[in-house]
Amino acid sequence: MTRYSALSLIRQGFAGHTGWSRAWRDAAPQDHYDVVIVGGGGHGLATAYYLARNHGLTRVAVLEKGWLGGGNVGRNTTIVRSNYLLDANAAFYEHGLKLWEGLSRDLNFNVMLSPRGVLNLAHTDAQMESFARRGNAMRLNGIDADLVDLPSIRRLAPLLDTSAEARFPVVGGLIQRRAGTARHDAVAWGYARAADALGVDLIQGCEVTAIERDGTGAVTGVETTRGRIGCEKVGLCVAGHTTQLADMVDLRLPIESHVLQAMVTEPVKPCLDTVVTSGAAHCYISQTDKGELVFGGDLDGYPSYAQRGETALIEHVCAAAVALFPAFSRLRLMRTWGGIMDMTMDGSPIIDKTPVPGLYLNGGWCYGGFKATPASGWCFAHTIAHDHPHPLVEPFALDRFARGATLDEKGVGPTPVLH
């Protein structure tokens, strides 16, 4: 593997960029691995990397039915943050944000982390009160948070309609300045390249169709479209298809799959250098390095595995974006797409062992799994290697629902579309 550096870039510049080596091998499946990770999205690749880097496990394969990074890791709106109210979520996502801050160096791959701040808009005094509560909770957990008033918001986002006549009048906001965005493809590629360099086999076009078990019920391997692969342990990182994999071992989960859409406008000159979100308008907006404005909103609202959504939601999100930023009404929408989200019954993820010996579960990421990628891989690798949950993910146990210990940030109960 060529190490990426300013020097290698200059050298390749003179050589016409003909000397770059492949970023990772096109591995063929071997007969047996210590650990098989199902799913080559962000979480699967990060888990494989940390299994090798932190735990010295290198007889590891990542099996991906499509191509690496073709799932949600390449479809999200790239927001990275740790502005959570509940202690368990705050500790986990803050561990993640700290990993993000050193990730480009760690992976020797520029993930283009841009800590441009994530600004949540408040439109009512009651919302300001709840933001003050969340901001204080964050600060008590050692996470940066600032409550901001209207003049500060005008400086942060000059194009935002902050007039009293606005469709959604703004009264203030909460900002986490260390939060921001990262290049989603680079995260997948960076983890893939770094895992491969440590000996992990990345196997694409390889769908897992069954999980093989012995007489005691313990995992002994997987059936795939590229043949049987034996292994001691299987880790599931399949996002929207978690239920289908769990069905293979008759494990019922508190998960419903829904489609979440996003969209971008044509590129324009830099005009928005922070991420702006409005819960009331059901919309969040940022500008990419290429200049496109990215809009995201809510789920379409009913279970779907279609990986595309309906126009009514697109219209709703665009209407909200234009209400917040009237200047954007003149832009044309360039692309829309959708990804299948594994929505849990409390809006928080699951990282745990399962009742099946040798089978480990990572899923239920809802809207927010991209920012979790480093922390999820870190903690899931620990859970697999030690056959015991990492302390940071103990609250994300599968049996928390039976125990009544749900982690419901919004307090809306077991209605996935509302999380």
Ligand X SMILES: Cc1cc2nc3c(=O)[nH]c(=O)nc-3n(C[C@H](O)[C@H](O)[C@H](O)COP(=O)(O)OP(=O)(O)OC[C@H]3O[C@@H](n4cnc5c(N)ncnc54)[C@H](O)[C@@H]3O)c2cc1C
CB of 162 to other proteins, least distance (A): 30
Report the residue from 230, 267, 301, 357 that binds other proteins according to the rule CB under 8 A. Answer: 301
CB of 270 to other proteins, least distance (A): 35
CB of 40 to ligand X, least distance (A): 5
Measured in degrees and rounded to the nearest 5, phi and psi for residue 138 equal: -60, -45
Residues 186-215 binding ligand X (CB under 6 A) are: 207-208
Measured in degrees and rounded to the nearest 5, phi and psi for residue 77 equal: -95, 15
Closest CA to 345 of 409, 396, 400, 413: 413
- Identify which of residues 168 and 337 has a Cβ nearer to ligand X in the complex: 337
Q: Where does this chain touch other proteins (CB under 8 A) — which range of 6-14, 126-134, 282-290, 299-307?
A: 299-307
- Identify which of residues 160 and 341 has a Cβ nearer to ligand X in the complex: 341
Closest CA to 306 of 256, 366, 260: 260
Residue 77 near ligand X by CB under 6 A: yes
- Identify which of residues 71 and 235 has a Cβ nearer to ligand X in the complex: 71
- Hey, is 148 helix, strand or coil? strand
d(CA 271, CA 116): 13
Residue 185 CB coordination number (10 Å): 14
Report the residue from 257, 265, 287, 354 that binds other proteins according to the rule CB under 8 A. Answer: 257
d(CA 55, CA 385): 7
Closest CA to 95 of 348, 103, 68: 103
Q: Where does this chain touch ligand X (CB under 6 A) — which range of 6-14, 59-67, 138-146, 403-411?
A: 59-67
Residue 235, binding choice from other proteins, ligand X, none, Cβ under 5 to 8 Å by partner class:
none
Sequence-distant (≥ 6) Cβ neighbours of residue 78 within 8 angstroms: 181, 182, 183, 184, 286, 294, 370
Closest CA to 315 of 303, 339, 298, 293: 298
d(CA 187, CA 183): 7
Closest CA to 243 of 387, 350, 371: 350
Contact 362, 82 (CB under 8 A): no
Contact 374, 106 (CB under 8 A): no
Q: Where does this chain touch ligand X (CB under 6 A) — which range of 16-24, 61-69, 124-132, 194-202?
A: 61-69
Residues 273-302 binding ligand X (CB under 6 A) are: 296
Q: Where does this chain touch ligand X (CB under 6 A) — which range of 10-18, 57-65, 151-159, 164-172?
A: 57-65
Tokens, residue 199: 């000996």
Contact 225, 29 (CB under 8 A): no
- Hey, is 356 helix, strand or coil? coil
- Identify which of residues 166 and 222 has a Cβ nearer to ligand X in the complex: 222
Residue 242 near ligand X by CB under 6 A: no
Residue 75 near ligand X by CB under 6 A: yes
Residue 168 near other proteins by CB under 8 A: no
Report the residue from 41, 221, 358, 389 that binds ligand X according to the rule CB under 6 A. Answer: 41
Residues 217-256 binding other proteins (CB under 8 A) are: 241, 243-244, 252-256
Residue 38, binding choice from ligand X, other proteins, none, Cβ under 5 to 8 Å by partner class:
ligand X
- Hey, is 221 helix, strand or coil? strand
Residues 65-104 binding other proteins (CB under 8 A) are: none
Contact 75, 338 (CB under 8 A): yes
CB of 417 to other proteins, least distance (A): 7
Closest CA to 293 of 132, 407, 160: 160
Residues 326-355 binding other proteins (CB under 8 A) are: 345
Residues in the interface with ligand X (CB under 6 A) total 39
- Contact positions vs ligand X (CB under 6 A): 38-44, 63-66, 70-73, 75-79, 207-208, 237-239, 241, 245, 260-262, 296, 339, 341, 365, 367-371
- Contact positions vs other proteins (CB under 8 A): 241, 243-244, 252-257, 301-306, 310-312, 345, 401-402, 414-415, 417
